[in-house]
Copies of this chain bind each other. A is one copy, B any other.
Amino acid sequence: MAYELYYWDGIPGRGEFVRLALEEAGADYVDVARKDTAAMMKIMASRTEQHIPFAPPFLRDGNVLISHVANILFYLGPKLGLAPQDETLRFFANGLQLTITDFLVEAHDTHHPIAVSQYYEEQKDPAKARAASFIDERLPKYLGYFERVLRQNPHGDRHSVGDSLSYVDLSLFQVIEGLLYAFPRAMKRYEEKYPALAALRDAVRERPNIKRYLTSERRLAFNEFGIFRHYPELDRDGS
C-alpha cells in the first residue's frame, strides 16, 4: 500500500524533507493534501483518531499515523534503505535530524519572530533584528557544526552518518537549498567556508532519482509562504 503524506499544499516547508526521502528511494506514495486539504484537516480535527497529530507533516502507513519530520524519517529510514544498519548510528542520525529541526525553527523565525498568526509585514522590525542575529551567530554555528560532523565521520566526509547516503544527507541538501534561496548574500562564500557540506549538496543534487524529482512538477519551488523566504531586506553579508 502506498504511503500517504499529509502536508500543506503550495510550499515545500517541512513536508519536503519527507518527500526527498520517498523520492530518492522511489517509494510509492500519495501526497494527499496537495489535492485534498480537507482530508488532512479532517484527521487533525478527528475526535476518534487515537494518534492525532498536532500539525502537518504526518504520514499514514496502513494503521500507523506518524507526525513530525524527524519521527517520520526515523520510522521510514530503515524501510527505505536510507538509515544506518547499526542502531547506535540510527540514534545519531536522529540527533542530527533534530538539530536540523531546531535550525528550521530559527530560519522560520527570522521572518516571524513575534507571532505565526501575523503577517511578516506586521513584524518587519523585529524580523530584521532576528535575521541579523541568525546570520551573524546562528547560521555559522549550525553550518559549522554540520561541517564538523561530516569531517569527523570516521567513514569519510561524503556522508553525515556511516558510509552511505541517509535521510540526514538529503535533509542537509534541502537546508542548503533553502538557505541559498532565502539568504544569497549571507551564503555567498559558503562553498569556501563549508566545503564538505557544499560537496554533499552537489552530490545529492546529481543523484538520478533526486535529479528527476527536482525537474518534476512534484517539486515545489521555494516561495514567500514557507520556512525559507527571500526578503532582500533580511539578507546581509555573512561574517
- A interface residues with partner B (beta carbon < 8 Å): 47-54, 63-68, 70-71, 74-75, 88, 91-92, 94-95, 98-99, 101-102, 105, 109, 113-118, 123, 126, 129-130, 133, 137, 142, 145, 148-149, 152-154
Closest to A105 in B: B105
Contact B133 A118 (CB under 8 A): yes
For residue A96, give the distance in angstroms from its CB to the closest CB of chain B: 8
Of B48, B94, B115, B129, the residue contacting A137 (CB under 8 A) is B115
Q: Report yes or no: B63 in contact with A95, Cβ–Cβ below 8 A.
A: no
B51 x A68 contact (CB < 8 A): no
Contacting pair A68 B115 (CB below 8 A): no
Nearest chain B CB to A104 CB, angstrom units: 11
User: Are A98 and B113 neighbours in the complex by a CB distance under 8 Å?
Assistant: no
| Beta-carbon contact of B50 and A64 below 8 Å | no
CA distance A88 to B48 in the complex (A): 17
In the complex with contacts A48-B152, A54-B145, A149-B52, A114-B129 CB distance below 8 A:
yes
- Cross-interface CB contact of A64 among B47, B88, B137, B154, cutoff 8 Å: B88
A69 (CB) vs chain B CBs: closest residue: B98
**Which residue on chain B has the smallest CB distance to residue A64?**
B88
Query: In the complex, what residues of B have CB within 8 A of residue A88's CB?
Result: 63-64
A117 to B145, CA, bound (A): 18
| Min distance, Cβ A218 to any Cβ of chain B, angstroms | 25
Residue of B nearest to A53 (CB): B95
CB distance from A197 to the nearest CB of B (A): 15
Contact pick for A130, options B75, B92, B105, B114, CB 8 Å: B114
